[in-house]
Amino acid sequence: MLRKLPVLLAVGALAIAGCGGDDDGDDTAAPASPPPAASPTEQADGGSTTVTMKDIAFAPAQVTVKVGDTVTWRNEDSAPHNVVAEQGADFKSDTFEKGGSYRFTARKAGTIDYVCTLHPGMEGEITVER
Ligand code: CO
């Protein structure tokens, strides 16, 4: 009896480890619901950076990305905001409320200055590197 116990424990541990591995495989293979827009690893084209709009400000106000990367602005403020390039790019979002977002994919290296036209002083910068 006593001599068999360690063997049983070992078998049990193997079975548990095996189940864990199977679970991981299932998780990967299962058709997951679409990832959030900000998911940093799921962009086929390039990287992804999120800028939050909160307390009438962009956070972070300065980001550095690479050509091909996508910047997503997400409004988490009680106020509506927009995103309008002033220099270095040509994007202009509609005004969107809390929960809304806007995306821009950087296509050339340089510095982009942008603002929210609704709130003087609400401005940000994107440095796009090769
Ligand atoms: Co604003």
- pLDDT in the model for residue 105: 97
- pLDDT in the model for residue 44: 54
Distance 111 CA to ligand 1 centre (A): 21
- pLDDT in the model for residue 36: 53
pLDDT tens digit sequence for 38-49 = 444 444 568 999
- pLDDT in the model for residue 46: 87
Mean pLDDT, residues 10-39: 48
Q: Which two tokens stand for residue 111?
A: 């510095």
Distance 123 CA to ligand 1 centre (A): 9
Nearest to 109 by CA among 46, 70, 65, 73: 65
Nearest to 105 by CA among 58, 72, 74: 72
pLDDT tens digit sequence for 83-120 = 999 999 999 999 999 999 999 999 999 999 999 999 99
Task: Note residues around ion ligand 1 (Cβ under 5 angstroms).
Answer: 81, 116, 118-119, 122
- pLDDT in the model for residue 39: 46
Enter the pTM of the model: 0.66
Contacts of 114 (CB under 8 A, 6+ apart): 83, 84, 85, 86, 89, 91, 123, 124, 125, 126
